[in-house]
Each structure stands twice: as C-alpha cells, then as structure tokens.
Structure 1
C-alpha cells in the first residue's frame, strides 16, 4: 500500500460487453477502481450521485440520451467529475461537440488498453487528452470559421493582461509549474488566474481554454 489516492471511474456504454471489458481492464490497473456502470446517458446523473466518481468514461452513441448531452449535464454539476469520451466515432463534429460540452479527453475504442489507462490517470490529474491528429483537424476547422474567430476574440477581451498571459500559456499546453516559472508567479497565483479565466470565459476546463484560444487565432 502506497497511500496513493484511487481514481474512481464510472463506465458509461450501452454495450454490456464493452462495459465489462473496460471494468476488467481498469480494475486491473494500479490506483484505479471502477465504482459503477451506466447503460445509457440518461442514467449518468443518478450513477454519479450514487458512486461519486472522479472520472466518467463516456460512450457517444446511446439509445435514449447520447454522450454529448450526458457530458454537458454532468459537467454543469457542482464539483463535477472529469469526462473522457471513448467512442468508435471520431468525426470532427463529434469531437468538437464533446469538447464544447466539457469533456477533457477523446479516445477511440481501438486505443490500446495501456493508453486508455494512461489517459484516465492523466485526465484525473488535470491533463487533457486529445490525439494530435484530432487536435490538428479541429484547429484547421476553427481557422476557417470566421464567426467563431470573432466570438473568441471578443470573449478574450474580458481577461486582464496577466490572465491573458496565463491563458496563452495554458493554450500552449504548459503545466502550472512551467507557467509559474516563466511568468514569475507562485503556483497558487497561477491556479487562481486559471480559475478566474474559467469563470470569466464561462468554460469548464483547460481544454476549452485551448480551444477558445485557437478559435481566436492564438497559440
């Protein structure tokens, strides 16, 4: 026993075999425990209330409520769990809608098990996960959307100069400690600035900060 906190995971998928496979895989990883399952998006809220997960592994295509709507509802809760989408559908629209809804990660179901485990650990630690290929596609898409560009630029005007600097660093994928060193701030100050940025811009996580920055043509 190392005293390391266990990452509590809720698995959401309409395929019972997929749920069982994911539970077996994740429960076999050190420091991770599957605390519950849900078979459809409309079951997620009750499952979160019952099991208090740190992270929800969310399917997209489900019969009654899809993973986008379920993610949005989960992330709107006070102190919400992180959400990682795990799906067979990687269209630009699906990825973009998942990120806008508040997901901190997007993985395909054919991702190797070790990478899924690593993604769960990283997202639980506050490090968003998105494959480079998907990121590039989304950035290219955002660059062609003039309306999104204008809206993003206007949104960023709400930030103070120091918050703007921190926002740029977050968009570049820098960790809090690196931001603190480069901007001559304490770690606590960096965390406070990020909290203020999320509040002012009405965003849910660092991934959405990066997406907004790219919409604005930055980073």
Structure 2
C-alpha cells in the first residue's frame, strides 16, 4: 500500500542559517545535523562571492562561514557581508586554528569562531548564541592562542590604571567568557538570571570598547588579564 508522507512547514520562529563551505558533502552533513534540531538551512554557498550574494538575498539569522575557499575567502566575504548587513551574525566554522585567521575574522566582523571538530550539539549552541547576540569561541582556539602568546613572550598585564577599570565581578565575568561559556552557562556558574548576565556582559563589553565575546577573549589573553 502506498504511503504518503506529509512535510510540515518549519515554525515561523525557526532559526534560518546560510551554510558557506566549498565542500558539497560537508554542507550536506551540516544541513542534516541542523535539520534534526529544527534549524532551517535556507541556502548553501560554495564560495565567498556566492555567500555575499545569498546573504543579501536570503537575510539569514546566522551565516556559517568557512575560511579557506577558492576565490573570495571567508574573511573577505565576512567583511563585505558585515558592511552591507550590519545585523548579520557570521559564525566562522572552519578547520583553521591559526591566530592570524582568528584575528582577521574577528576584525572583519565575525561574532564567533568554531572549529569543525565540535559536536553537533556544540554547533547548535554556537548558532543559538549568535542568534541571541552572543558569541562563542572553541576552547581549542583559546588554548592555541594562549600557547602562541606564551611562546612569543609572556602576556603583559595592563597598566595599573587599566586594571582599575575592572571590578572583581567584571574580572570573573571575563574569566568565564575566556573559558568559552555562553551567558546561560555563566548565569548557572554565578547563580544569576540570564537577563542579569546579559546586561552585565553588555556593560563589560561597552566599558572595554569591545563588540562581542570573541573580542573579549582576545583582549583578555593579549593583555594577560586572564592566564
């Protein structure tokens, strides 16, 4: 007996993602993993040029961006998307753990940086953080950056007047951000509500002139505030 399967439309509040990677099989795998979690992949791009065009056409909530692609790379694509669509949330998703790639991606406007060896659940958390206006950095990236800084010379703490900028609570927040925790995890750690953490982190970022968690991680590691 022939059975028909009815496909239901995704809910209106489903997260919409554009996947950018030059490997077809990888894009298909990401689409499958995200679909299991109710995330809608609205488009796929195999190059930076296509990513810029589709981001403008589709206006996704989050753009998963690879770094190394033929033609226009992910950093330049991120820069162009950020300049055209300031509200766009570009989450770098790549195999590269090089400090130069991290720095360039953040400078271009990426809100987070994840390595492709993360689990499906970790990828979902990263996407959810991006949608919430937060950002995540793979712990492996943080470790790599810290090792690099130690090899190139022990990070120097800021001047005394700079250290006075941060209260003990703000230093604790910064330390938790560096460990890769999102706002919800920080809230559980400090027994604070999500709203309180969100406001506290926003004030901390404004005080330091930073845009997101990723920049906060780099700031803390480079200045030796968190070791």
Match of 2:173 among 149, 169, 190: 169
Unaligned runs of 5+ in 2: 1-7
What's the counterpart of residue 69 of structure 2? 62
The C-alpha deviation readout for 1:25-81, integer Å capped at 9, x for no partner, is 32x223301012222113333322222222111111112211122223434542221
Report the Cα distance in structure 1 between the residues aligned to 2:164 and 2:49, rounded to whole angstroms.
36
Question: TM-score, normalising length from structure 1?
Answer: 0.71
Alignment partner of 1:41 is 2:48: yes
Pairwise CA RMSD: 3.8
CA pair 14-181 structure 1, distance change in 2 beyond 3 A: closer
SS in structure 1 of the partner of residue 18 of structure 2: strand
- Residues 152-211 of structure 1: per-residue CA shift (max 9 Å, x gap): 837x9398445x84255134236547569959x986565445334434544331121022
Q: Distance in 1 between matches of 2:49 and 2:209?
A: 25
Q: Displaced runs of 4+ in structure 1, greater than 6 A? A: none
2:26 to 18, 21, 29: 18
Q: Secondary structure at the match of 2:42?
A: strand
Do 1:168 and 1:213's aligned partners in 2 also have CA atoms closer than 8 Å? no
Contiguous gaps of at least 5 residues in structure 1: none
Q: For 2:88, what is the secondary structure of its paired residue?
A: coil
Larger Rg: 2
State the aligned residue count.
210
**1:218 aligns to what SS in structure 2?**
coil
In the alignment, is the contact (CA less than 8 A) between 1:6 and 1:32 conserved in 2? Answer: yes
**Alpha-carbon distance change, 135 to 20 in structure 1, aligned in 2, over 3 angstroms:** same
Task: Give the TM-score taking structure 2 as reference length.
Answer: 0.69
Q: CA deviation at 1:120?
A: 3.1
Output the CA distance in 1 between the equivalents of 2:119 and 2:198: 33
